[in-house]
Structure 1
């Protein structure tokens, strides 16, 4: 079991417990969807108002085995955490720690190498074109980073990615993968879910070799705004997936 570090938190103990459970559930669900990367990739969630105290998985633990109690409580300005036996890997620290430190409004950060989003990230133009409801959902809300220089394990890499994210909630990491952010784990998971579906649509549309029928900016904007009324889907979808986990293996709650 992870020993919690003495970092300040602004959430109540009960809320922190629920946050741990939700984040652990997100790992398990993503493992079921084959969105894990061996024992790599990281998810995190802020527990303090300034974002400098956050939960994250330690290095090299498979998504399918993560429990609520396994999540580390880290301080974004405390580099000594990298010296611990349960330290996260350097790339996770550089990306998640920096984003939480520079964007305190970002509460949950999910980074993954989902198949279609990653395939799209390797294109010269990795942007999501508004082609349908799912692709237009992300209109005007995706930053793009084209500065890939290998594994992002240096502080300047994290700062560049945070800058590329800007005020968007999603980041297409060129030649790398995708990072999504949201106020809650359920909303972040839903964003990752639909981003992968949108990327799949893009890749399949490109594969036909036919010209894309791209929506106008006005229609894309209207569609993106129309999704706001459906935000409630996220919690219902995530709750359903958690119930499925509970029937099969509820150990993520431990």
Structure 2
């Protein structure tokens, strides 16, 4: 028998891995989503995804499914607080909060939320590698284990590529291009990701951005070798689930809630 600090080393009975929490009331779930949204925006800011006033993350309200919470227009990601967030209805009107909303944010996200009842949250930013990769007009290749997360589950959207999306019909075209996928590369614009939780949507965005970076670096260095179809498909089945997206976000959430307690204000 081996011992560590006087305790025998035997097989431990471990608790099951956690999953998305279920709040007891609508009010508790609403607060939970708003807190996660403020924290996710701060993470975007830390990673340099802010570019002027561009970029937005939305999360559907748990009581009114045709309303969503979003970051206000012109407020920096790195200092976002729960109290800064605004609630927007299906007409684009702010019904809670005192700040303006980016018109493109409403047009794009309202179209996605309307087209995809399964989507609770959506993320978009003018991240450097995502917008660089989007100019190629090609899908992400399964070059790495991380990229396989999106294998067969992302789209290249050419409609409205590069144009500022301000009209309702233009937003619907982008949402139609996303289809049933969890991610889209919008040509000459950048990345969009969605999820059944805010955690999932945000982690998919971070992972897709880094996968775009990896492919750009590999293409610059030579001719990268893709992963075989059966291996890529298997990895996507393991690592591309809604739970996997949620779980991968938890270390980021734990860090930002400890370092930035004022986000809860």
> TM-score normalised by the shorter chain: which range applies?
0.7 to 0.9
Q: TM-score, normalised by structure 2?
A: 0.83
Aligned residue among 222, 225, 229 for 1:213: 225
Q: Secondary structure at the match of 1:161?
A: helix
Identify the residue that residue 96 of structure 1 maps to in structure 2: 109
User: In the superposition, relative to structure 1, how do residues 154 and 229 fare at CA in structure 2: closer, same or farther (>3 Å)?
Assistant: closer
Identify the residue that residue 8 of structure 1 maps to in structure 2: none
Task: Give the CA deviation at 1:186.
Answer: 1.4
Counterpart check, 1:225 vs 2:205: no
Contact 2:121 2:201 in 1 (8 A): yes
Task: Give the CA deviation at 1:249.
Answer: 2.6
The equivalences for 1:120-135 within 5 A come to 120-123=133-136, 125-135=137-147
Q: Secondary structure at the match of 1:153?
A: coil
- Distance across 1 between alignment mates of 2:151 and 2:106: 29
User: In the superposition, relative to structure 1, how do residues 95 and 223 fare at CA in structure 2: closer, same or farther (>3 Å)?
Assistant: same
User: In the superposition, relative to structure 1, how do residues 238 and 214 fare at CA in structure 2: closer, same or farther (>3 Å)?
Assistant: closer
User: In the superposition, relative to structure 1, how do residues 80 and 228 fare at CA in structure 2: closer, same or farther (>3 Å)?
Assistant: closer
Task: Give the CA deviation at 1:211.
Answer: 2.2
Aligned residue among 23, 26, 45 for 2:59: 45
Identify the residue that residue 175 of structure 1 maps to in structure 2: 188
- Distance across 2 between alignment mates of 1:86 and 1:229: 35
Larger Rg: 2
CA-atom RMSD, angstroms? Answer: 2.2
Counterpart check, 1:164 vs 2:177: yes
Identify the residue that residue 152 of structure 1 maps to in structure 2: 165
- Distance across 2 between alignment mates of 1:24 and 1:169: 22
Task: Give the CA deviation at 1:228.
Answer: 4.7
Contact 2:182 2:194 in 1 (8 A): yes
Aligned pairs, number: 239
The equivalences for 1:185-204 within 5 A come to 185-204=198-217
Identify the residue that residue 137 of structure 1 maps to in structure 2: 149
Task: Give the CA deviation at 1:103.
Answer: 1.4
User: In the superposition, relative to structure 1, how do residues 85 and 232 fare at CA in structure 2: closer, same or farther (>3 Å)?
Assistant: closer
Identify the residue that residue 75 of structure 1 maps to in structure 2: 89
Structure 2: which 5+ residue stretches go unaligned? 1-24
Contact 1:95 1:158 in 2 (8 A): yes
Q: Secondary structure at the match of 1:137?
A: helix
Counterpart check, 1:111 vs 2:92: no
- Distance across 2 between alignment mates of 1:143 and 1:51: 25
Structure 1: which 5+ residue stretches go unaligned? 1-10
Residues 193-226 of structure 1: per-residue CA shift (max 9 Å, x gap): 2111211111001101x22212232222112112
- Distance across 1 between alignment mates of 2:77 and 2:261: 14
